[in-house]
Amino acid sequence: MLIVANWKAYVEDFAKAKKLVALSKRLAGTSGLTIVLAPPAPLLGAFSASNTSKVAFAAQDISLTTGGAKTGEATAGAYAAAGVTYAIIGHSERRAAGDTDAIVAEKLARALAHELTPILCIGEHERDGEGKYLAFIREELTSALAPLSPKERAHVIVAYEPLWAIGKAASFAILPHDLDEMTLYIRKVLAELMPGKNSAHSRVLYGGSVEPDNIRALAAGTSIDGFLIGHASVDPKTFGELAKRLRVQT
Ligand code: PGA
Q: What is the CATH number of the domain that holds 57?
A: 3.20.20.70
1 within ligand 1 shell (Cβ under 6 A): no
Q: What is the pLDDT of residue 170?
A: 84
Mean pLDDT of the chain: 95
The yes-or-no verdict on residue 135 having pLDDT over 80 is yes
Instruction: Render pLDDT for 183-237 as a digit per residue (tens, 0 to 9).
Output: 999 999 999 999 887 888 999 999 999 999 999 999 998 999 999 999 999 999 9
Query: Which ligand 1 atom lies nearest to the CA of residue 159?
Result: 9
Which letter does DSSP use for residue 231 in this model? G
The yes-or-no verdict on residue 250 having pLDDT over 70 is no
DSSP per-residue letters across 91-158: -HHHHHTT--HHHHHHHHHHHHHTTPEEEEEE--S---TT-HHHHHHHHHHHHHHTTS-HHHHHHPEE
Residue 31 has φ and ψ, to the nearest 5°, of -95, -15
For helices 101-113 and 132-145, give the axis angle rounded to 10 degrees. 40
Residue to mutate (ligand 1; options 122, 229, 239; most atoms within 8 A of CB): 229
Query: Which ligand 1 atom lies nearest to the CA of residue 166?
Result: 5
172 within ligand 1 shell (Cβ under 6 A): no
Whether 244 is in a domain gets the answer: no
In the chain, where do the E strands start and end?
Answer: 2-6, 34-38, 56-59, 86-89, 117-122, 157-160, 204-207, 226-229
The yes-or-no verdict on residue 249 having pLDDT over 60 is no
Considering its fold, how many domains does the chain have in total? 1
Q: What is the pLDDT of residue 180?
A: 97
29 within ligand 1 shell (Cβ under 6 A): no
Which residue would you say has higher pLDDT here, 151 or 105? 105
Fill in the amino acid letter for 170. A
Active-site positions read 91, 161
The yes-or-no verdict on residue 127 having pLDDT over 60 is yes
**213, HSE (Cβ side, Cα atoms, 13 Å):** 10
Q: Could you tell me the pLDDT band of residue 247, with boundaries at 50, 70 and 90?
A: confident
Whether 250 is in a domain gets the answer: no
Instruction: Render pLDDT for 36-85 as a digit per residue (tens, 0 to 9).
Output: 999 999 999 999 999 999 999 999 999 999 999 999 999 999 999 999 99
Q: What is the pLDDT of residue 187?
A: 96
Instruction: Render pLDDT for 91-102 as a digit per residue (tens, 0 to 9).
Output: 999 999 999 999
Q: What is the pLDDT of residue 248?
A: 58
Closest C-alpha residue for ligand 1 atom 2: 230
Q: Could you tell me the pLDDT band of residue 169, with boundaries at 50, 70 and 90?
A: confident
202 within ligand 1 shell (Cβ under 6 A): no
Whether 240 is in a domain gets the answer: no
- Range from 16-30, 55-69, 154-168, 195-209 carrying the lowest mean pLDDT: 195-209
* Residue 75: domain span: 2-235
161 within ligand 1 shell (Cβ under 6 A): yes
Whether 247 is in a domain gets the answer: no
Fill in the amino acid letter for 89. I
Q: What is the pLDDT of residue 30?
A: 87
When pLDDT is averaged across residues 155-167 and rounded to a whole number, the result is: 95
Q: What is the pLDDT of residue 31?
A: 85
When pLDDT is averaged across residues 146-168 and rounded to a whole number, the result is: 94
Q: What is the pLDDT of residue 222?
A: 92
